[in-house]
Structure 1
Amino acid sequence: MDFVLSEDHQFIRKTARDFAEKEVRPSAAERDRDRIWPAELVRKMGALGFMGIAVSEAYGGSGLDYISYAIVIEELSRVDASLGVIASVNNSLVCYGLETFGTEEQKRAILTPLASGQQLGAFSLSEPGAGSDAAAQKTTAVRDGDYYVINGIKNWVTNGPHADTILLMAMTDPARGSKGITCFIVDTHQPGVSVVKNEDKLGIRSAHSAQMAYDNYRIHKSRILGTEGMGFKIAMTILNAGRIGIAAQAVGIAQGAYEAARDYAKVREQFGQPIANFQAVGFTLADMATRIKAARLLTWEAAARKDRGEDYIAAASMAKLFASETAMWTATKAVQIFGSNGYSKEYPVERFFRDAKITEIYEGTSEIQRLVISREILKEGATA
C-alpha cells in the first residue's frame, strides 16, 4: 500500500491550502461571530472546481477521485469548517446522489450547474421527529395527476436558505414505512417552500442550517430522483458516501486545532521556558499528531475503497466515528494548552472546539456509526 500522495494529489492539496489561507482565513472569525454567509467564497470554490470534485467532467464536475475530495474538504476545514461543510453537502449529499440515481436529463439540466458551482444544493431528510430514526418521515407528498403536493417541516437543512436545488425526502405511501419514502428534486425558486428560521448554532455558524416549510408545494413527477418509494435507499446510499466528507472535515478541524496549539506552546512561556518543553504538553501534542494521522489514514482508506468500487460502508463509518471523536478530543486539548486564552475568541481554538462537536452528530451520530459498524463486521465473511 502506497501512503505517499501522488503529484496530482499534492497539487490539489496545495491549491486548496493556498485558497484557504489567502481567501478564507482572513474573514473566518468575523463570519463565525456574525453568522455571515460566505457568498463570494462559495462562488470562488465553484470556480476552483471544489463544488463537484468527484463528478464527471461531462456533468460539470472536476472528474477527480474521492481521495482528492477528502483532501480538499480537510484543507478547507483546517481553516474554516463552515466552508468545509458547505462544499461537502454540495458534493456528497447532492451531486453524488444526482449522478448515481439521476436520469440523463436530470444530470444535464440539474447536476451540471451544481457541480460547476453555478448553483448550490442542499439535502433534506431530518425532521422535528425524525433524526437518527430517519424512516419516521412526516412530510407528505400526495399524488395529483402528473404532480405531487408536498406538505411538512424539515430541520437542519444546511445550505438550505441559499440553495437552488434540494434533494427532499417525503412520504408518498405511509403504509409502506421506509419503502414509502420518495426523493424529490426541489426547485427552491418555485412557490410553496420557505425558510422558517436560520438556526443560531454553536459552531459552523457561517454555514447556514435552516428549518424549512413546504406548504402545498407542487412538483412534477419528472423531478423524482430514482423511482417512487426509493427515497430511503437513496438517502442511506448518499449518507454512506457523505461520511467520508464529514470524516475529512473532522480531520481538518483537528489539524487546525493541533497546529494552533503546537505553535502556541512554542512561544508561551511559564516558569522561564516555553510550555512545549514540559512533558505534559509535549506528550499531549504527540497524542494529537498520532490520532490525527490515524484518522486521516482511515478517511483515505474509505475514499480509496470507494474509488476502487469496493464495499466502503464500514470503512466510511469507522473513519467518521474515529475522526469526529479525534476532532473533539484534539480541540478540547488545544483549549487546555492555551489555558485561559483558549477560552477567548481572540484565539482560534475556541472556534475549533465549537466546530468539532457537530461532526459527532450530523450525517449519523457516533452511536449510529457504531451501529453501522457492528452490523457490517458481524456479516458472514466480514473482515475489519
Structure 2
Amino acid sequence: MNTLEKLGWNEKLNEQTKLQEEQFIGRVIVQQRGQYKILSEAGEFAAKITGKFFHQIVRQEEYPAVGDWVVYTKGEQDSEASIHQVLPRKSKFSRKTVGGITEEQIVATNIDTIFIVTSLNDDLNLRRIERYILLAWESGANPVIILNKLDLCTDIEEKKRLVEEVAIGVPIIEISALKNQRIENLSTYVKDGQTVALVGSSGVGKSTLINQLIGRDVQDVGGIREDDSRGRHTTTHRELFVIPSGGIIIDTPGMREIQLTDSEDGLSSTFHDIEELAELCRYRDCTHENEPKCAVKNAIDEGTLSADRLQSYRKLQREIHYIARKENQRLQLLEKEKWKKITKSNRK
C-alpha cells in the first residue's frame, strides 16, 4: 500500500492544503487526451476533471499533468474519481508546443531532479544537451547528465570531456542500463520522497533504466536503427512509477524537437561561462563580433571557449526573445477573451 509520503508528499504540502468533506489527495501518474490516472493512499483511480474545473481553465498549462498533486472525490464506481483542483507546483519541466503556437506543453511537474539521458554512441549531440540543460534549470529542478550505454563506448573519457564543456557545474554519471553497470551511482537522487524525471531522445535507454530501477519490466524496450544510431519510439505517454526501494520516477517519450519556453534565467544558468566572460568585455553592449578587447573572442582565440558554443548561445538567445514576443501577444489575446466572457456573463 502506498502512503502519500511514499508518493512524495511532505509536511509543507500538508500545511498548505485544506480539504473539504469527502475530498482526498492523489498524484497524477498518467495523462492521456483528457483522461487521467491518479494514485493515492486508497489506490489507483481513472479520473476526469469536473465541469466546474474545466470552465475555470484559461490556458493549456492549467490542466493536470503527470506529477501533479490533485484534490479529488471518489466516483460512483470504486475505480473512478473526479479531479477538482491542481495544487501549486514546486517545479515543472515544459517546452513550447511544436509548431507556430507558443502554448506551453508541460512534460512533468513537482520534480526534484531531471535525468538528461543520452547514449554514448553516434547520437551524442552537445547542442541537444544544452537545450535540455536550459529547460531543466528553468523548470526549478536540478539537472543531472546520464551517459548511458557505457558498455558500447571505447572513448568514454573523451566523450565525457566534451559533455563537461557544455554541462558546466552539472553532475555527469556514466552507466550501462542494459548491463546494470553503475546504476547504484544514481542512489543519491533516487530515494524516498524524491521525484526524478527522465528526458532524452528515443533509444537512449530511458525505458531500460526504468526497468532496472523498478526491478521488473514495466516499460517496452526498443532497438536502435543501424543507419543513424537513433532509437525507435517505445514510450508513447508520460507515466509516473513508484520504486519499491524508495523514490518516484517519471518516464517521458523521446522528443524529436526541443522547443524552448521563455527561458532567460535558464539561459544564464546554462551559459554562465559566456555571460561571465561578457562582463569582462570593454564595451557593455559588446556583440562579440569585431569589438576590440572582447573577452569572449579572446577566450575563443585561446581555445578556452569553442566557437560552436558561442554560436549555440546566440541561436538560443534569439529563439527565446522570439518566443517571449509571441507569448506576450498570446497573453494579451487571452486577457481579451477572459473579459469578453465576464462581460457576456454580467449581461445575462
Q: Tell me, yes or no, whether TM beats 0.5.
A: no
Larger-gyration structure (1/2)? 2
More strand by share: 2
Richer in helix (by share): 1
